[in-house]
C-alpha cells in the first residue's frame, strides 16, 4: 500500500514531467517481494495527463 509520501512524490513527479513534456509511465512501490503500480491503483494520471495515451 502506497504511503501519503509516495502519493505526494508521485504528484510532484507527474507535475514535473508534464511541465517538461516528458511522460511519466508509472511509479512502482516495491517491498516484501511485491510491487504496486501507482498508475494502475490511483487516479493521479487523470489529474496530470502525460500525453502518452
pLDDT at 53 over 70: no
Mean pLDDT for 47-51 is 86
Using CB atoms within 10 Å of the CB of residue 50, give its burial: 0 to 12 exposed, 13 to 18 middle, 19+ buried. Answer: middle
pLDDT of res. 20: 93
Q: What is the pTM of this model?
A: 0.85
User: 3-state class of 2 per DSSP?
Assistant: coil
pLDDT of res. 51: 78
Q: DSSP per residue over 19-51, as a string? A: HHT------EEEETTEEEEHHHH-SHHHHS--S
pLDDT at 23 over 70: yes
pLDDT of res. 39: 96
Amino acid at each position: 500500500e502506497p504511503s501519503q509520501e509516495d502519493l505526494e512524490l508521485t504528484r510532484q513527479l507527474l507535475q514535473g514531467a508534464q511541465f517538461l513534456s516528458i511522460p511519466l509511465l508509472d511509479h512502482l512501490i516495491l517491498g516484501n517481494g511485491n510491487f504496486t503500480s501507482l498508475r494502475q491503483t490511483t487516479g493521479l494520471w487523470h489529474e496530470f495527463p502525460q500525453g502518452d495515451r
